Homo-oligomer: A and B are copies of this chain.
Amino acid sequence: MQDAPNSRAFARHDHAHCAGDMMARAEALSRDKGLRLTPVRRRTLEILLEAHRALGAYDVLDRLSAEGYGNQPPVAYRALEFLVEQGLAHRIRRLNAFTACMHPGEAHAPAFLICRLCDAVAEAPAAAVRAALDKAASDLGFVIERSNIEALGLCPACRTGAAA
């Protein structure tokens, strides 16, 4: 096990700071859009931010129920669905998992880079990817509404060190 196996991007950073920053942005976004960032939803987002990696719905549920929230799947799924719809979290289909969005508020169709050794998930800037995808789709007359772009491979740390 490495020291930074599940970093957001594949680089060190001030974890507490980025989580606090994201929460602040989520609050602001909710206020602006008139959304209800209720305790379960807020706590769910915090859990994702604290974990700092992709969590399954049942992982989230365990944490929520340990803190006195409901202990049935819909509790977690609903909170996660809300966060995803509001762009505060993303669903990583390859992992059947969810992760906090690191760029809330900015319109983006991110690409996720998933390390198959340490399970780190990075949200890569994907404007160019999305543009190419839009082009390929429009060539077929297809209109894209949402997209999932996920890649599996090796993060820098695992490529150089951990694999040895």
Contact = CB atoms under 8 A, between A and B. Distances in A.
A139 B131 CA distance: 18
Interface string A25-46: 0000000000000000000000
Contact of A140 (B124, B141, B144): B124
A155 B136 contact: no
Give the most central of A111, A122, A129, A153: most B CB within 10 Å: A129
B149 A147 contact: yes
A84 interface: no
B133 A131 contact: no
A153 to B, nearest CB: 4
Contacts of A144: 113, 151-153
A135 interface: yes
Interface in A93-117: 93-94, 111, 113, 115-116
